[in-house]
Structure 1
Amino acid sequence: MTMEHGRAAGTTRKPKVVFVLGATATGKSKLAVAIAKRFDGEVVNADKIQVHAGAPVITNKVTEEDMAGVPHHLLGVLPADAEFTAEDFRRKAGRAVARVLAAGRLPVVAGGSNTYIEELVDRDNAAFRERYDALFVWTDAEPEVLDWYVALRVDDMVARGLVNEARAVFVPDDADYTRGVRRAIGLPEMHGYLLAEREGGAGEEELLALLARAVGEIKENTCRLARAQAGKIRRLSGLEGWDVRRVDVTPVFACMKDGGAACHQETWRKLVWEPCQEMVRSFLEAPGCRPCSSIRPARR
């Protein structure tokens, strides 16, 4: 699509910004990259953990391959233990959005830290909403199905090196899990296992039991986080000026569970990508138009 985002000949429309919201594991990164590729955009990370460097598996940072050449901002740019408040995010994300727009491209703000997103959009007398038109796409799934996928994803993270990542940053005597990347689910849960491993007094069976317990806690805490995130987005959808559009990704996970990878990809294309592509196209070309019927308004 070739256009100057947020401007058309003979109009004074505000510049456009697309937000991709959603609980952890609902496919925000994939959708954000797809939108950016289709509409000549760049992604601005809005995840308060992923803004820090380190632990790419535990923090689920999008890989270079999955970025597919799309520039990403505020991803892994801070030291692992740096403080980064919501106000810091508002300033830096605001500048990133302005830079992307100045380059004639579409900013796609994506991430699960809804406190940061609310700070960007509504604080400072809602200056962001005064300056820009915003569309909020919400990837949501039924909790039971998402729980199944979260467990699957955690198992995959373990297979891809979660334990080694946690071991590499483990500090037994002064482990502060309230700062920076150490706040990520997956690090505090591993503390007991790694401590027992380092002290050397536990046998193999005890260590395996401690590891299994840690992995179980990671799954439980991730599911709990996903529910809290969905609740925050539901609240945001009721605020004035928030045009939040819910996209139900439940069938994608259900198909993955029952039909394998090919079914999953086709379902994602038909039920998520194609309607979202049309919704974003309509938003960019004709402000105020309603999305296609397969996208549901956010539940109040």
Structure 2
Amino acid sequence: MLLNLLARFIKSHKVSSLFNINKMSMYDGPIVVVLGATGAGKSKLALDIASRVNGEIINADSMQVYKGLDIVTNKVTPEELKICEHHLIGFLSPLQEYTVIDFQRQALKAIEKIQCRRKLPIICGGTNYYIEAILWKFLTPTNKEQLRIDDTSVRQVDDNSKKELEVLSSTELYEILDKVDPKRALSLHPHDRRKIIRSIEVYRQSGQKHSDILKLQTGDQRIGGPLLFKNACLIYVDCDREILNERINKRVDKMVETGLIDELKLFHEDYNKDRLQSGLQADYERGIFQSIGFKEFHDYLTKEVSDNNERNVLLNESIERMKISTRQYAKYQRKWIRNRIVNRENGLAVYAVDSSDPSIWDKTALFPSLKLLHTALQWGEWVENINKTSDIFKLDELKNIVNIEPMTAESNTDLSPRVKRVCHICNGQIFITDKEWQIHITSKRHKKIQASQKRKLKNTVNILSNHEKQLQKKAKETLTESTANDE
């Protein structure tokens, strides 16, 4: 035991000395980031890479940080957890708040510890905002968030303030933000409750406007902040959209087969049932209850139904809603990666591998990734037994793999000024950028509604005009009759 502790100390001391002698920091070390939509195969690729290049995985999924609910959050299996060390997964109470700043602080600490063990940090997850928080320095903690936390605890939020805000309507919340930080209010959609509440909390906790903090961090860029890890390789696990949608549908079916319903029922009994009996609404805006599944199964979990056929209908409707929500979320993830990471002004190269056909996974995903890591990262002495000349990079299977080119950044990212506009023709829809507004007013739907309202208005004008003519005619006839009677 003593010898093992001594060996670990020497190894850690050796790496720490390397940092000091060469004036290096953890930000100089290599890291790998595995991106992609839900269902694309991120976890599999991260595990395959970690097992071959002495890596450890840091979870970047905001729902997988919570304990329990392994099915609904689609956590890696116990068998997969044995393949390599995992960090920030399944450690937090399901009802506890966890912010992106909590994640940022703990993930950076995990990266440093992994590097001190001379392992490769591999960040993997579908919460792309978390990944942004690691790669770019664009978050400034508020005063309360500057409290030191360790690996097993997180910052306690002011519950009274949180509850006070949560009972307000979106309109009331937006009015509060508009008073304390009008610039931030202008940049947010009035129905984006979570971001509005967050900006109000930043102002209350720090005394600073959230817009001023963001301006300080990003300068004149819409999305910005200095790059933290320049020696990083970003791998995007891509998949044909039709195949991905079908894969998502099958995944949800498998979740149901393996106990999803029972898992949801137990948590509903422990939490939302008491809220409903107290006259409160079910809370799907906090902690793990934001996961796709809870809101979609609300009717099935809460409605008192005695008829089995009706209950089966509710179940099937809930399953279908979960599939739709998951497919929509995958679409959102792909769009976010393109707009916020690939198209970023001060970004890193992003390399795509294809996971559409699992039967040729090694050829289209794993081997291209390994060949990419060989050339994209500066290994030095950072990772034990892994460097440019390691055997893993000399595999015969890698020789015929074509080098991956980085994804091409597009110039159509919406960086237009944020000016809120309301379309009264389309039921008060709100748009917060010039580009969104221009797209909307030239859309077929808007033009169709506009044309319909013009027709209705024209018909109304014609009706009023005819009515006016009739009134004039009647008045003229009345005047004529009156004149005749006088005579």
Q: Same fold (TM over 0.5)?
A: yes
Following TM superposition, by how much is the alpha carbon of 1:281 offset from its aligned partner in structure 2, in angstroms? 2.5
Corresponding residue for residue 312 of structure 2: 208
**TM-score, normalised by the number of residues in structure 2:** 0.53
Within 5 A, what are the aligned runs for 1:49-64? Answer: 49-64=63-78
Deviates more, 1:170-179 or 1:39-48: 170-179
Q: Supply the AA of the counterpart residue of 2:313.
A: A
Corresponding residue for residue 482 of structure 2: none
Within 5 A, what are the aligned runs for 1:74-113? Answer: 74-113=88-127
1:208-230 residue CA offsets vs partner (Å, 9 max, x unmatched): 00000000000000000000000
Within 5 A, what are the aligned runs for 1:212-251? Answer: 212-235=316-339, 236-239=341-344, 240-250=346-356
Within 5 A, what are the aligned runs for 1:124-135? Answer: 129-130=227-228, 132-135=230-233
> Is the aligned partner of 1:195 residue 2:299?
no
Distance 1:73 1:51 in 2: 9
Following TM superposition, by how much is the alpha carbon of 1:277 offset from its aligned partner in structure 2, in angstroms? 1.3
> Is the aligned partner of 1:146 residue 2:244?
yes
Question: 1:128 and 1:66, CA in 2 relative to 1: closer, same or farther beyond 3 A?
Answer: farther
The DSSP-based 3-state class of the residue aligned with 1:167 is: helix
Q: Decide which structure has the larger Cα Rg and report it.
A: 2
Distance 2:121 2:309 in 1: 50
Distance 2:336 2:265 in 1: 33
Is the CA contact (8 Å cut-off) linking 2:47 and 2:83 kept in structure 1?
no
Corresponding residue for residue 293 of structure 1: 402
**TM-score, normalised by the number of residues in structure 1:** 0.85
Q: Supply the AA of the counterpart residue of 1:267.
A: I
Q: Supply the AA of the counterpart residue of 1:145.
A: I
Is the CA contact (8 Å cut-off) linking 2:67 and 2:94 kept in structure 1?
yes
Structure 1 gaps of 5+ residues are: 253-263
Following TM superposition, by how much is the alpha carbon of 1:146 offset from its aligned partner in structure 2, in angstroms? 0.8
Corresponding residue for residue 155 of structure 1: 253
Is the CA contact (8 Å cut-off) linking 1:101 and 1:107 kept in structure 2?
yes
Is the CA contact (8 Å cut-off) linking 2:40 and 2:239 kept in structure 1?
yes
Which gives a bigger RCO, structure 1 or 2 (Cα 8 Å, sep 6+)? 1
Distance 2:342 2:23 in 1: 27
Question: 1:152 and 1:280, CA in 2 relative to 1: closer, same or farther beyond 3 A?
Answer: same
1:62-83 residue CA offsets vs partner (Å, 9 max, x unmatched): 0111234311000011110111
Distance 2:115 2:253 in 1: 39
The DSSP-based 3-state class of the residue aligned with 1:214 is: helix
**How many pairs does the alignment contain?**
276
1:31-59 residue CA offsets vs partner (Å, 9 max, x unmatched): 11111111101000000011111210010
Corresponding residue for residue 30 of structure 1: 44
Distance 2:286 2:30 in 1: 34
The DSSP-based 3-state class of the residue aligned with 2:296 is: helix
Distance 1:155 1:130 in 2: 40
Corresponding residue for residue 130 of structure 2: 116
Following TM superposition, by how much is the alpha carbon of 1:129 offset from its aligned partner in structure 2, in angstroms? 3.5
Question: 1:133 and 1:43, CA in 2 relative to 1: closer, same or farther beyond 3 A?
Answer: same
Corresponding residue for residue 177 of structure 1: 284
Q: 1:283 aligned to 370, 373, 376, which one?
A: 376
Question: What percentage of residue pairs aligned between the two structures are identical?
Answer: 33
Distance 2:107 2:264 in 1: 29
> Is the aligned partner of 1:166 residue 2:264?
yes
The DSSP-based 3-state class of the residue aligned with 1:188 is: coil
